[in-house]
Amino acid sequence: MITGKYPNLRLRRNRKESWSRRLIQENTLSPSDFILPIFLIDGSNKRENITTMPDVYRYSVNRLSQIIDKAIKKGIPMVALFPKIKKNLKNQIGSESLNEDNLICKGIIEIKKKYKNQIGIMCDVALDPYTSHGHDGLIKSKQIINDETIEALINQSLLQAEMGCDVLAPSDMMDGRVGKIRKALDKSNYQNVQILSYAVKYASSFYGPFRDAVGSNRSLKGNKKTYQMDFRNSDEALREVALDVKEGADMVMVKHGMPYLDIIKSIKEKFKIPVFAYQVSGEYSLISNAIQKKIIDKDSIFETLIAFKRAGANAIVSYYADRIDKIIK
């Protein structure tokens, strides 16, 4: 509540000089606020362009150090690994997700071997990179089946934990999966493995470049509206978070970011838990392409990222994370 009135109260006084503006700023960004997504590909000595995502690349496992070294040097606390699986390894049930020699397992082992605990590793728990139909779950009678999918997700989670993953991130949006994954982890003596639940993941049109990056765009049949959230709903988001927290989620994710700042704020105010935001591929590509074409200024990157913090996000998954030192003012 503002007390006082003009002319005795002039809010512009505090904005007059740079040093004063810095003293009263309410939100700041630091490298510690960021998670860097990394895409993996098969092969050796590869760094591959992603045409729909300017300045973002896929890396072969033996070239991971190229991007991990950069992340550690800049103070990024965690990376998130995503695989692009060869088409011949995909099938209806996503069995490659349970292969202990798959890309994600190789990536975890490589990072832990070289860097120990200098940087955290987050792994996606979902089947969509591995299925021939591009969905996050198993299909039966043209329906995404919930409970059978959870069993596959439990096995995927246990494998990733065994390889050394620090933070498991179920992004599938199956009902009840967080509790069952937590129970399985604890039973297998992985009590310290954290769960970052994609508790609020909307069925969005902004995911296209990501699906290009992991190779699921062309294979996706239909849409994901029967399990991802309706973007018209907000109360439902709070119900999803309440369930996941009760089931044992250590942190929750809102995906995606900019159109859902109101959701981030509501969750933070109601639950007082760590809330992460994902600045998704569509947001990133729109901003980056607009900057390249000189439609908007590059300062727009900072402006969008600070909006997540202002809404209450503890951390941000962003493809700009590896350049954050050049973005922060």
The catalytic residue positions are 201, 255
Question: Are 123 and 165 in contact, with CB atoms under 8 Å apart?
Answer: yes
Q: How far apart are CA 156 and CA 133, in angstroms?
A: 18
Q: How far apart are CA 38 and CA 28, in angstroms?
A: 25
CA terminus-to-terminus distance, the chain: 29
Cβ-proximal residues to 117 (8 Å cutoff; 6+ apart), any chain = none
CA pseudo-torsion sign 153, 316, 267, 231: negative
Tokens (6 digits) for 272:
């007082």
Amino acid at 306: I
Q: How far apart are CA 204 and CA 292, in angstroms?
A: 25
Question: Are 199 and 249 in contact, with CB atoms under 8 Å apart?
Answer: yes
**CB neighbour burial string for 21-30, b if at least 16 within 10 angstroms, e if fewer:** eeeeeeeebe
